[in-house]
Chain A
Amino acid sequence: MKVDFQHSQAAHCENGVTTSLLRHHGVNQITEPLAFGIGSGLFYIYIPFMKINNGPAIAFRTQPGLIFNRTCKALDIPVERKKFRSKEEAEKILLECLAAGRPVGCQVGVYYLTYFPKEYRFHFNAHNIIVYGKEDDNFLISDPVMEMATSLSSYELERVRFAKGAFAPRGQLYYPKEKREVTNEQMKKAIRSGIKRNISLMLRIPGPIAGISGIRFTAKKIRSWRDKLGPQKAGSYLAQLVRMQEEIGTGGGGFRFIYGAFLQEAYAYHPLQELIDISKQFTNSGDIWRSAAVQAAGIYKGRIGSQADFDVMSDYLYAAADLEKQAFLALSKIKWPT
């Protein structure tokens, strides 16, 4: 049993699943940057009272599942999303979908994901893959971060679908309910509303820990890490920040570049020079995030580590916050032709 499905690789798992599933359902215009931008994927949050792997809880992305839901909704495509109590039921429904010729998105944990390298297997439960067939006891898997399609035995797939802990997927699967063609008019509208929602997420979200203020909040915290935590733990915290920022499945610096690419692609639908100019600002911000990562690496590798070095690290984040604030303000001033 195998659905006629084209595996394609992406920079980020949920973007990739969204893009591939929508393409399969007739949305030929969709690309990874468009899915990311329409789904308002750019975000930042630092949750001060929560710990992940004994380090700070930082995310550069929206809540898992939102990019897919928002993008489908903006394009007027109905979505089915199911969670399960029973493993048998979860497999039964999955098999029914495949028999009906449907590739299916699944949320999974990476700890037991056998084709991942051992070094990457932490208890992280918000990874997304597509299941597109079954041959003997093996499910055919399209994992967007992998160059090639791969497979998992039915036991292995069940295990990752029912991983436990934070964001436990509970067998969650999702797919667009029907094939639909999307007009360029719809794309235009979806792009505009995706940008507008992202502006308010980054600029106007209340509280000090999310959006632009969240980046500034983190910058402020970093200044005190060395004294408060001691050099070793402060180094571990910075390493965690870099992992959240640059690793597959998250990608903070990388997300800025994808957003830059999104604005360039948006220009094809809305020929406004501002989009190209603001795209450059996101490229600059992504570069600053990368410089920050290099600075952090100097600290956690023990090459540098004075308070001044932590201050430089903090200044990079302030600079990124300022730049992104300017960029989103500029986006909010765009006069969209109606």
Chain B
Amino acid sequence: MKKEEIPQDLGALGKITGEIVYAVDESGKYTTSLSNGWEVKSSALDVAWKDVEQRIAAAREKVIRREASPVLFFMELRVMDIPIVAAYTGFWKWQVKRHLKFPVFEKLSSAKLAKYAALFEVSVEELKTMQVHEG
């Protein structure tokens, strides 16, 4: 890449900091310059977040139909998966998998619910009702 080809398409990171990029100057020698972002990159990131949003919406529907527990919804909302939820809560992976079932979730002790609520940074009430208001 030549120095003058370094993209400057302002992205999410570019608003906070420029990124160092290595490129060659007119004489073919490598130098560094700052880039504000690249449209190709930021649209890849958009795709990733769109996928996340779709999974959140699908999870919400499933919980409403009682095919899954709110743990699934919040797991998707916090971009986690079962191993991550297990690692943070201290539950085993098979336990988390069970807790994803609506009937099992309904019978969870308040101590267990509190663990999930703390991880997902919501109150136990919000955890049960999937009502979260945040920007």
Q: Which residues of A contact B (CB under 8 A)?
A: 9-11, 32-33, 53-55, 111, 115-123, 145-148, 164-166, 168, 235-236, 239-240, 242-243, 246-248, 253-254, 257-258, 260-261, 264, 279-280, 283, 286-287, 290, 293-294, 296-297, 300-301
Contacts and interface: CB of A to CB of B under 8 A. Distances in A.
A54 B53 CA distance: 13
Given A122-B79, A164-B87, A286-B1, A280 B48 contact: no
Interface string B15-37: 11111111110001110101000
B13 interface: yes
Interface string B44-85: 110111010001000000000000000000000001100110
B40 A246 contact: yes
Contact of B1 (A9, A147, A257): A257
Q: Chain B contact residues: over half helix, strand or loop, or mixed?
A: mixed
Given A145-B17, A283-B1, A287-B1, A117 B12 contact: yes
Contact of A165 (B15, B24, B83): B83
Contacts of B88: 164
B43 interface: yes
B105 to A, nearest CB: 22
B41 A242 contact: yes
Interface of B: 1, 12-13, 15-24, 28-30, 32, 34, 38-41, 43-45, 47-49, 51, 55, 79-80, 83-84, 87-88
B53 to A, nearest CB: 12
Contact of A257 (B17, B19, B30, B41): B30
A239 B21 CA distance: 21
30 contacts: A9-B17, A11-B20, A33-B22, A54-B51, A111-B79, A117-B12, A117-B15, A118-B12, A119-B12, A120-B45, A122-B79, A123-B84, A145-B17, A146-B17, A147-B34, A165-B83, A168-B87, A236-B47, A236-B48, A239-B45, A246-B41, A247-B45, A248-B19, A254-B21, A257-B1, A260-B22, A260-B24, A264-B29, A300-B47, A301-B43
